[in-house]
């Protein structure tokens, strides 16, 4: 039988073990039929074969954003985006425009702010009043760029019922003015749960439509696979509905989670979930499957909530684990218990850890579970993996623990950490090359809506490590080669998904998930990678985007 689709006269990056390149690729049905030179592949054409001249462009495996909060990003696209604001005045103007477009009394919603931008050179801290006059009396909630905190205005505090008498929940903080004890409007970590039932919730149809629109945008960017790292039962029902209705145009792997928006997962809650969940890693099909479960060990350095071994420069604290417990020893024991429980139920465990102590502790918990109850194919994951020690990196390699890093977060937020963490850690944060060279499988992902899910800019950051607003590399010794960076967005995430026999490379028999860019991807200068042009996206042999 002839091929259904042939792409020729370009560069085909198979991303196989040897990073083999070819001139052309043939597709039959939903699978790769063959790769090779133009003459060999064009000989596979029949009278009905669709033939595409690449004109020197590049075919690579469909990109896999292996840590992207899909539904959240879909819904966040309707909110005001403050990530590009360079000052408080710019942020206020963006909020004002957005607020003016909202009905009277409606919530003003936004995301992406950073302390460095809102505070500038001003003394003191953030306050609810900073946006009061631009919201027209409407309540406001602006999510921190990390999604680990947020800012309410005065009307928002009133609507949420948060006062000086409101206690900070375990694992979170209602930030207060030290002089008056009144809440400033800033909520950190588990304190976000105080907004449960306060913020308006979208309908199921609105959520599902937002997901479909988000996937269409990802297809336009060349992305064919996504891992959503926090999927609540309600979200999973939405995804199942979309799968049943044939509305998924990307392969979706889910990490189950039961306690969001609280970052703390009590052991009792997880034990109850394990009683009823009735599934394990791998349940599902080629378009929708359960990849594992998500745990959160600590917060983020920008908020001073990542667990560090030395104090932050700006406030002298070290952060802490966000698990249950009255002290570090109890919180560490709680993390071990959570990991062990999920491991015993044969769920791949993915643990958010950003501080150096949190990274080391999370890996210790994963290694302890793997040692006590061997599961050779667990493929547990250290999410973010910002500051693991060299000993921890070796342990990850020895026990098959992956790293899922976020070059786009480093590109976006590195400048804001100057003066908060020491210079050595600032450069060492996200030690991608050290991990790859040690034998750790390293995936890179956007963590959208924390960032905009642009794999092209992520590749550029992985190979240059030059963050936004700077011309100096942050940790030049940790730069990846271009081949390593491409693997981090294709073959490595397929391994994380336990799906490497089917996707992640362009080898015969794999799914025909393809991204075509107009340029020769291997010849574009490093600092121009962000500007390559996706022109065609194929999922399982079907064109889901074509420019």
H or E element in which residue 403 lies: strand 402-405
Res 27: pLDDT: 98
DSSP string, 256-281: E-SSTTSS---HHHHHHHHHHH---T
**More confident site: 447 or 418:** 447
Q: What values do phi and psi take at 67, rounded to 5?
A: -160, 85
Greater confidence (179 vs 484) lies with 484
CA distances from residue 358 to 171, 296, 309, 334 in whole angstroms, order as listed? 14, 10, 9, 13
pLDDT of residue 313: 86
Cα→Cα distances 331→264, 279, 321, 335, Å:
11, 27, 6, 6
Q: What percent of the chain has pLDDT over 70?
A: 99
Would you give the DSSP letter of residue 488? Answer: T
Average confidence (pLDDT) over 168-174: 90
Left (φ > 0), alpha (ψ -120 to 50) or beta: where does 437 sit?
alpha
Residue linked to tokens 């929708």: 288
**Of 5, 8, 31, 11, the residue nearest 486 (C-alpha):** 11
Burial class (CB in 10 A: 0-12, 13-18, 19+), 17: exposed
Sign of CA dihedral 284, 251, 495, 147: negative
Q: Is residue 358 helix, strand or coil?
A: helix
For the stretch 147-159, pLDDT in tens is 888 999 999 999 9
Return the DSSP state at 334.
H
Asked if 265 and 325 count as a contact pair (C-beta separation under 8 A), the reply is no
Tokens 């063959």 found at: 34
Rounded CA gap, 208 and 88, in Å?
34
Q: What percent of the chain has pLDDT over 90?
A: 85
Give Dmax over CA atoms of the chain in angstroms: 80
SS3 call for 282: coil
Average of pLDDT values for 103-112?
A: 90
Q: Cis ω on the peptide bond leading into residue 449 (within 30° of 0)? A: yes
Round to whole Å and give the CA distance between 150 and 174. Answer: 10
Residue 547 CA to residue 537 CA, distance in Å, equals 9
- Quick: pLDDT tens for 245-302: 999 999 999 999 999 988 999 999 999 999 999 999 999 999 999 999 999 999 999 8
pLDDT band per the 50, 70, 90 thresholds, residue 123: low
The closest alpha carbon to 362, from 344, 341, 339, 345, belongs to 339
**150 vs 392: CA distance, rounded Å:** 32
pLDDT for 208: 98
Domains of the chain are: 5-62+512-520+523-546 (2.30.40.10), 74-195 (3.10.310.70)
Residue 121, pLDDT score: 61
pLDDT at 228: 98
pTM above 0.75, yes or no: yes
């Amino acid at each position: 039988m002839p091929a259904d689709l042939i792409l020729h006269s370009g560069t085909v990056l198979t991303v196989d073990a040897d990073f083999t390149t070819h001139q052309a690729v043939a597709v039959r049905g939903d699978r790769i039929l063959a790769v090779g030179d133009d003459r060999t592949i064009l000989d596979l054409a029949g009278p009905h074969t669709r033939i595409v001249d690449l004109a020197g462009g590049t075919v690579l495996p469909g990109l896999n954003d292996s840590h992207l909060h899909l539904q959240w990003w879909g819904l966040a696209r309707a909110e005001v985006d403050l990530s590009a604001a360079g000052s408080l005045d710019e942020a206020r103007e963006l909020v004002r425009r957005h607020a003016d477009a909202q009905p009277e009394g409606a919530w003003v919603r936004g995301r992406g702010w950073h302390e460095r931008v809102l505070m500038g050179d001003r003394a003191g801290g953030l306050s609810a009043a900073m946006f009061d006059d631009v919201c027209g009396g409407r309540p406001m909630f602006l999510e921190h760029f990390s999604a680990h905190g947020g800012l309410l205005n005065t009307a928002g505090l009133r609507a949420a019922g948060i006062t000086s008498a409101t206690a900070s929940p375990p694992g979170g903080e209602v930030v207060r003015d030290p002089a008056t004890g009144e809440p400033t409007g800033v909520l950190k970590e588990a304190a976000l749960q105080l907004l449960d039932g306060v913020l308006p919730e979208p309908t199921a149809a609105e959520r599902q439509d937002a997901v479909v629109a988000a996937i269409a945008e990802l297809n336009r960017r060349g992305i064919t696979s996504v891992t959503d790292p926090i999927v609540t039962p309600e979200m999973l029902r939405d995804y199942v509905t979309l799968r049943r209705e044939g509305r998924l145009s990307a392969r979706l792997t889910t990490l189950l989670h039961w306690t969001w928006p609280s970052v703390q997962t009590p052991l009792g809650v997880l034990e109850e979930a394990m009683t009823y969940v009735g599934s394990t890693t791998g349940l599902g099909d080629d378009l929708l499957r359960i990849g594992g479960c998500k745990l959160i060990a600590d917060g983020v350095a920008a908020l001073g909530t990542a667990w560090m071994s030395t104090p932050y420069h700006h406030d002298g604290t070290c952060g802490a684990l966000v698990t249950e417990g009255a002290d570090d020893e109890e919180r560490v024991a709680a993390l071990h218990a959570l990991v062990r429980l999920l491991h015993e139920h044969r769920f791949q465990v993915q643990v958010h850890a950003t501080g150096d102590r949190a990274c080391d502790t999370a890996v210790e918990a994963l290694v302890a579970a793997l040692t006590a109850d061997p599961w050779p194919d667990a493929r547990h994951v250290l999410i973010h993996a910002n500051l693991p020690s060299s000993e921890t990196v070796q342990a990850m390699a020895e026990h098959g623990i992956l790293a899922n890093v976020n070059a786009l977060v480093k590109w976006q937020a590195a400048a804001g950490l100057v003066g908060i963490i020491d210079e050595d850690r600032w450069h060492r944060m996200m030690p991608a090359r050290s991990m790859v060279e040690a034998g750790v499988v390293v995936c890179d992902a956007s963590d959208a809506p924390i960032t905009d899910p642009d794999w092209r800019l992520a590749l550029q950051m992985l190979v240059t490590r030059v963050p936004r607003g700077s011309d100096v590399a942050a940790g030049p010794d940790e730069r990846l080669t271009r081949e390593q960076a491409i693997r981090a967005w294709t073959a490595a995430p397929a391994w994380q998904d336990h799906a490497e026999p089917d996707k992640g490379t362009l080898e015969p028999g794999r799914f025909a998930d393809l991204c075509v860019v107009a340029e020769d991807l291997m010849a574009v200068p490093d600092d121009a990678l962000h500007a390559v042009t996706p022109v065609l996206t194929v999922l399982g042999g079907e064109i889901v985007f074509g420019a």
